[in-house]
């Protein structure tokens, strides 16, 4: 793929994107994987036991 030079941001934004469909899909998958690795997990996996209903409700409110 050749290198393009632009004189301004407007010229750069007006230029057509030169990429094939499969390259764009691979880029999308890479971004998804990167996001998955850096994002926090909101809910831990597994089954949890609590001593009381109040403890379970407190844990549920923290996860929301």
Taking the C-alpha atoms of residue 28 and residue 38, their distance in angstroms, rounded to an integer, is 16
Residue for token pair 């990429």: 19
pLDDT values of the chain reduced to their tens digit, one per residue, 64 residues = 678 888 998 998 898 877 676 788 888 999 999 998 888 777 777 888 999 999 999 988 876 6
What does the block give as tokens for 32?
Answer: 């998804």
Taking the C-alpha atoms of residue 55 and residue 60, their distance in angstroms, rounded to an integer, is 9
Q: Given this model, what pLDDT does residue 1 score?
A: 61
Taking the C-alpha atoms of residue 25 and residue 19, their distance in angstroms, rounded to an integer, is 10
Q: Given this model, what pLDDT does residue 18 score?
A: 74
């Amino acid at each position: 793929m050749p290198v393009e030079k632009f004189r301004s941001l407007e010229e750069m934004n007006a230029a057509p994107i030169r990429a094939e469909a499969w390259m764009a899909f691979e880029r999308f998958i890479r971004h998804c994987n990167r996001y998955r690795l850096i994002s926090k997990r909101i809910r831990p996996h597994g089954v949890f036991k609590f001593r009381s209903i109040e403890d379970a409700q407190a844990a549920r409110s923290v996860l929301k």
